[in-house]
Structure 1
């Protein structure tokens, strides 16, 4: 449901801070670190939607000049969309009342309510902090990968620099072995490693060469998908498409001059070599080093938050959103949308001297494109239980869901989520299920 537009003046907000901080030109009421989907949505809510914090009270720290809708990169890799369609200048999506500092945050000092920047901006102090810095991609954790990505046939949809290699790799193979990987780490959009595989399969079928190409999906996971309902459907699809699936296989090295991908069998610790003619790599990912001061030993380096309120477990004036936190859900834009409503409500409550009250149920969504004009819309919660919006079986392939993924969701992202007015489909789910849905 759209967040209530009842506006609250900054003068009505009770200041909260764990430590006294200086009031100077480098002090801000709300600092948002990260100009991705979560950061911009929260900034918009506190300047244009939920409250009317005055100009200069909210700052977003973000060094990049471009903002990308990364869920589109699956379609970019398949040649259905272009890189240009997936990005917009950061200045065009930054909320108008926000001060944008084009710099990189290098450390967070929560005991002193301040952050340090890499450039001339130096140190900023804050009353409240929202951390939305995404996830770190560890290209170097796979030996030889960075060099291999410079060679024909090796590609990845996980960066703007490498996604343009995917379509040429798909088009370039006429016969031989095509391998798609899933690493032994948390990743953003856990369905993406499969989506490009199904779209490549469709391309090769359309061009009459599918029977000459062996498709292998090597995943470090023990299942094809974490939610049993959707895993059952996907297992049938890979069988129908004659795709070889090897579980508990983790990519550890790419030997480009021999066109070999080396995998560790996590069950036996044995190293196995696979010959490839095309290799799509989903790289390992990890917590951004920036959030180390907000992590604890049990969080795997990710920012430690209460999984329901998304407030930091120790610092009450700090909230986390998106991929950088240890909230145990899939890291997707859909999860960010659901989290923005929770974070904004709870942060406003804390600003007013109250306790957080909104609860995040772990909602996330993964539109699993399974071929041309086909998609399974997986929606689920913390317990890996389906949390479906539509009153139909969403584990079945659907043309409607494909066009939602292709055309509707980008519009919702640019004109809803980034503007702070889309909190996910919970309200509409209840309507479609006649008030009986979660």
Structure 2
């Protein structure tokens, strides 16, 4: 959510920021609504003043026995109040809606571009392997092992679902549990179990609503299945005023995620790269504004550590203006090399949303009092950050393709072996 004061202060700058997002100028229309709202506010205040002034006259009429006249005056004042109040409510909602539908401002150093082809690679870890055989894709490996079953999943639920069995199912579980343990034991995140169903306000707080409704699954009682644990994790501070000493808040969760993939028809239809349901380890941080850049770097490095420990080849990419998500001011994507596909695929996104989500959630903190201050510091909006730490299904795909052997077996990365009961290799039979 944007601060209307920023639009008032520099409409041209606001329009320039939205233009980087591919939007036409919007400041004039927003300011027109704001002007109407301010006029409506004045009308409410004037109506209240008239009512207060007339209250003595009402009392005098009643004292004089002119009850009908008093009631007529009360009704007239109430009608005026209602008209003014309704107009203010309408303009309030119109301004809120106009601001809520606009994406976050991008950081100045986000590269301009149209789509993912304009993203900029910042660094790479490891080199693509030159395997002495033709590598297979994950679904070829999984089906040959008899442990990845798309036909049964389609019978049970339709397309974009997968049934995993045996050691491959255990490997997926091991990945999620190990990654969550690394983030909590080594990286300082607090393990958090969250609801998988949330309400409208929670979805609005992190920016999923109203813009991305078609990408979500909704239940018959009006709740939403979470597309990522970012949604409930971030909203744990909604409506709160945190003491500065409590920051940063770092939370991590391993949970299922649910996405309709409404805009992905025809993309990644084979295998389990793009699923309606998938497990993911999510990281969320709540910080002071001056700390969010450093926190963004720290969070991204936490995700990079996971990929390095798994023996994967990865690279960090900064997303261009045309590929940066709605709520983000800046996003680093981590991509892994998949030998079977012969391509880089995104496995983690780490974003700094600055105060964009905090304004939607009304999440604030109270700065420490300065020595000699006569009154407490005014609350300020926190900054919120989120990142995949990482997507478990895509980590499974990457481990399978990177650690495959010519015979179709898969070597279990050393860090996962304690979580696999000592299994070092997954093979058919």
| Structure with more of its chain in helix, by fraction | 2
Higher Rg of the two aligned structures = 2
